[in-house]
Amino acid sequence: MSTVRVNAERPYSVEIDYGAINKLPGLVGQASRVAVIYGEPLAEAALEVSRLVGSGEVSVLGVGVPTGEAAKTTDILIDCWRALARAGFTRSDLIIGVGGGATTDLAGFVAASWLRGVSYLSVPTTVLGMVDAAVGGKTGIDLPEGKNLVGAFHEPRAVLADLDLLRTLPDREVSSGLAEVVKAGFVRDERILSLIREHPDGARDVTSARHAELIRRAVQFKADVVADDLREVTSVGERIGRELLNFGHTLGHAIEAWENYQLRHGEAVALGMVFAGYLSRRLLGLSDAAVADLRDYLEMLGLPVEYSAAPWPQLRELMARDKKARGSSLRFVGLRAFGEPAMIVAPSERILAECYAQLGSQ
Ligand SMILES: NC(=O)c1ccc[n+]([C@@H]2O[C@H](COP(=O)([O-])OP(=O)(O)OC[C@H]3O[C@@H](n4cnc5c(N)ncnc54)[C@H](O)[C@@H]3O)[C@@H](O)[C@H]2O)c1
Ligand SMILES: [Zn+2]
């Protein structure tokens, strides 16, 4: 139905369609062994993938991994490496990741690290996995000390975003992924906002044409941003690079950590976007009406817009730690208006605390 081209160092396509996995047989290339690394709830989809790529000349190894974030551990990584070793995987073989962003982050890192890098195909099965994790080449795992601490850039040969696979996704996961979609609407693509406003229930219905169009637009947004700034160099002057993707994420990451990752990523980012809206009103002249709209869009998608569970000093400390990890001052992506992002660097402590109080009080 639609193809988004990602102009990375080695360009690749994201195919967004019902039944997109049927393109797999044409993507196996020279491989004589294929490993399908899949999250366990996706066993059925993984079987179908195996059937599509297996043949007389191609043997398929299925590697089931625990569901969600539990896959992104050193133990599971080692299990995957050893499964490849036992099956005699060579440089010309292929790895396919089937699952949410956690599974594809792991599978991509296995591909990046096996024999210093083998070909990788991504089959994301969550909204978040399609619009965010599958594009941009970042792969990795977590450590007990922190999320995503070990990883590599490794672009896939192709991404097959098969919309049929979303049918079993729980509503809460759909909403979480839509937080990244509406983020693209706030910072750049206002057509996303009108698609949501015209029919919010349709936007949340993974079988609707409206939902498919939202996914396509969000993938296009991410593809454009990463093509512009392949290695996440930096934002220079007025130009915001990959950092644009961080809208809502500065506070969002701190809330995720405070909640021990019990909130879905998109839920924490939704709260971070509301906070960024309040900061933008104070510091960038974002209008009251736009702040109210920002909250409305998130609520229409079933996302939270109020939060007060964490004491401010603790969240502030978590943001400072994140900042230290990146070696820079506290930075927020803000908005002058929808589609007009601007950086907010090192805002005053008083304004930060007041905006956090607003997040809990309306
Ligand atoms: N590489 C990147 O650039 C990038 C970007 C954003 C997020 N991420 C990573 O992605 C992860 C989050 O991704 P996520 O939100 O997809 O979470 P996830 O992978 O944990 O999946 C969420 C849940 O949905 C289940 N699931 C997946 N597909 C399903 C389906 N079709 N039907 C029913 N259940 C299904 C999973 O088993 C899991 O329980 C995090 O680890 C994050 O670090 C990476
Ligand atoms: Zn995100």
Residue by residue, pLDDT tens for the chain (362 residues) are 799 999 988 999 999 999 999 999 999 999 999 999 999 999 999 999 999 999 889 999 999 999 999 999 999 999 999 999 999 999 999 999 999 999 999 999 999 999 999 999 999 999 999 999 999 999 999 999 889 999 999 999 999 999 999 999 999 999 999 999 999 999 999 999 999 999 999 999 999 999 999 999 999 999 999 988 666 655 556 678 899 999 999 999 999 999 999 999 999 999 999 999 999 999 999 999 999 999 999 999 999 999 999 999 999 999 998 765 566 689 999 999 999 999 999 999 999 999 999 999 86
With both helix axes pointing from N to C terminus, report the angle between 190-198 and 171-187 in degrees, rounded to the nearest 10.
140
The reported pLDDT for the residue numbered 361 is 83
In this prediction, residue 232 carries a pLDDT of: 60
CATH class for the domain made up of 170-359: mainly alpha
- Residue 307 has a pLDDT of 98
Identity of the residue numbered 168 = T
Nearest alpha carbon, ligand 1 atom 33: 169
Return d(Cα 215, Cα 185) in angstroms, integer.
11
Per-residue confidence (pLDDT) for residue 1, from 0 to 100: 78
Distance, in Å, from the CA atom of 148 to the CA atom of 156, rounded to the nearest integer, reads 18
Please state whether beta strands 146-153 and 138-143 pair in parallel, antiparallel, or not at all (unpaired).
Answer: antiparallel
Taking the centre of ligand 1 as the mean of its atom positions, its distance from the CA of residue 100, in whole angstroms, is 3
- Does 50 contact ligand 1 (Cβ within 6 A)? no
Predicted TM-score of the model (pTM): 0.95
* Binding site membership of 59 for ligand 1 (Cβ less than 6 Å): no
Compute, in angstroms, the gap from residue 176 CA to the centroid of ligand 2: 9
Contact 193, 185 (CB under 8 A): yes
Query: Which overall architecture, per CATH, does domain 2-167 show?
Result: 3-Layer(aba) Sandwich (3.40)
Residue whose tokens read 């999320």: 147
Which atom of ligand 1 is closest in space to residue 45's alpha carbon?
Answer: 31
Q: Which amino acid is at 115?
A: L
Could you report how far apart the first and last alpha carbons of the chain are, in Å?
42
pLDDT at 290: 98
**SS3 label, residue 94:** strand
CATH code 3.40.50.1970 region(s) in the chain:
2-167
Determine contact, residues 80/110, Cβ cutoff 8 Å: yes
The atom number, within ligand 1, closest to the CA of 138 reads 1
- Which residue reads 């079987």 in tokens? 47
> Can you tell me the distance from the alpha carbon of 11 to that of 77, in angstroms, rounded to the nearest whole number?
27
Closest residue by Cα to atom 21, ligand 1, is 100
pLDDT of residue 323: 63
Distances (CA, A) of 190 to 291, 337, 342: 15, 11, 16
**Cα dihedral across residues 181, 187, 193, 194: positive or negative:** negative
SS3 357: helix
Contact 294, 273 (CB under 8 A): yes
Does residue 248 have its Cβ closer than 6 Å to ligand 1? no
Q: Ligand 1: which of 139, 173, 178, 303 to mutate, judged by most atoms within 8 Å of the beta carbon?
A: 173
- The first and second tokens of residue 99, run together, are 């699952």
pLDDT value of residue 236? 59
Query: Partners of 94 in the beta sheet?
Result: 34, 119
Two structure tokens written together for 255: 């809330």
Ligand 1 atom at minimal distance to the Cα of residue 168:
32
Parts of the chain belonging to CATH 1.20.1090.10: 170-359
Measured at the alpha carbon of residue 130, what is the angle toward residues 128 and 133, in degrees to the nearest 5? 70
C-alpha–C-alpha distance, residues 299 and 204, integer Å: 12
**Within 13 Å and on the Cβ side, how many CA atoms surround 264?**
24
Please, are residues 316 and 352 in contact by the beta-carbon 8 Å criterion?
Answer: yes
